[in-house]
Structure 1
Amino acid sequence: MEQRLSFVTLAVADLEKTYAFYVDGLGWTPELHVPDEVLMIRAGDALVLSFWAESGFEGEVGPIRRGSGLAPITLAHNVRTEAEVDEILALAASIGADPVGVGEKRDWGGYTGYFADPDGFRWEIAYNPDPRLESIVLPD
C-alpha cells in the first residue's frame, strides 16, 4: 500500500448546515455537492475532505458511536504566521463556530488555536516555526 491519504470522510448531522459553514462561511469551493447526501471539497493535490450525511454513512460504514465528549480526531490547517492563526480564528467566530479558542504559544514552539465546525469537529489552526515541516504542510 502506498503511503498516502486520499479522502478524509466525516459523518455530519446536517449536510446543508455544513455546506453553509465551509462554502458560504469559510469560502471553500466544493468539488461535488449532492444535497442531503454528500459534500466533497478538495483539500490538497490528491486529498478530498468529504462530508457525508449520517444516514448514508451509517448505511455503508456502520453505526456511529454517540455520547458525550469530543470526536477523537482533529483536523489541522497550517499557516505561515501567528497573525494568520488569529485571522482564521476570528473568521471562524464570525460565521458561528462554537467554541473558538484563542491563539496560544505552545510548549513545542508553535502557535495554535482551535475552532469547532457545526458537528463539533475540531480544527487546529497552526503556525509551526520548524523549517523541516514547511514543505510538508504548506503549499508552494
Structure 2
Amino acid sequence: MEQRLSFVTLAVADLERTRRFYVDGLGWTPVVDVPGEVVMIQVGPHLVLSLWDERQFAAEVGPVQRGGVPPVTLAHNVADRADVDRVLDTARRAGADPVSDAVEREWGGYTGYFADPDGFRWEIAWNPGPIGQLVLP
C-alpha cells in the first residue's frame, strides 16, 4: 500500500450549516456539492475534505456517536506567524468556536485552535522547522 491519504471524511449533523461555514465563511470552493448528501472540497493536490451528511454516512459506514471532543485534529499550516492570527480571525468571523488563541509553543512554533460547527478541531499552525516546510505548497 502506498503511503498516501486521499480523503478526510467528516460526518456532519447539519450539512447546510457546515456548508455555510466552510464555503461561505471560510471561502473554500466545493468540487462536488450535492444538497442533503455531501460537499467535497479539494484541500491539497491529491487530498479532498468530504463533509458528509451524518445519516448518509451512517448508512454506509455505521452508527455515529456524538459527545465530547472528537479524538482527532485537522491542521492547516501557514507560511508565517501572522497568518495564524489572520486565519483564526477568519474562522471566528465565520462562526467557529474559538477553542484557543494562538500561543508560542515549546517546540518553536505558534499555533491556535478553532472548532467547526460539528466540533471538529482545526489547528492553525506556523511551524518554522523542516516538517513545517514539508507541508506547505
Inter-CA distance 99–133: structure 2 relative to 1 (3 Å threshold): closer
- Superposed, 1:50-89 pairs within 5 Å as 50-67=50-67, 69-89=68-88
Tell me, what secondary structure is at the counterpart of 1:55? helix
CA RMSD of aligned residues (A): 1.0
Tell me, what secondary structure is at the counterpart of 2:40? strand
CA distance in 2, matches of 1:131, 1:64: 37
- Superposed, 1:1-140 pairs within 5 Å as 1-67=1-67, 69-134=68-133, 136-139=134-137
Report the Cα offset of residue 58 of structure 1.
0.4
Tell me, what secondary structure is at the counterpart of 2:23? helix
**Counterpart of 1:52 in structure 2: which amino acid?**
W
Report the Cα offset of residue 131 of structure 1.
3.0
Report the Cα offset of residue 85 of structure 1.
0.1
Inter-CA distance 62–132: structure 2 relative to 1 (3 Å threshold): closer
Inter-CA distance 63–132: structure 2 relative to 1 (3 Å threshold): closer
**Counterpart of 1:34 in structure 2: which amino acid?**
V
State the percentage of identical aligned residues.
66
CA distance in 1, matches of 2:3, 2:40: 22
Contact 2:9–2:49 (8 Å) recurs in 1 = yes
- In structure 1, the gaps of 5 or more residues are none
If each structure's strand is expressed as a fraction of its own residues, which one has the higher value?
2
Report the Cα offset of residue 132 of structure 1.
4.5
**Counterpart of 1:137 in structure 2: which amino acid?**
V
Count of matched residue positions in the alignment of Structure 1 and Structure 2: 137
Q: Which moved more, 1:97-106 or 1:78-87?
A: 97-106
- In structure 2, the gaps of 5 or more residues are none
Report the Cα offset of residue 25 of structure 1.
0.5
TM-score by length of 1: 0.94
Inter-CA distance 133–90: structure 2 relative to 1 (3 Å threshold): closer
Tell me, what secondary structure is at the counterpart of 1:83? helix
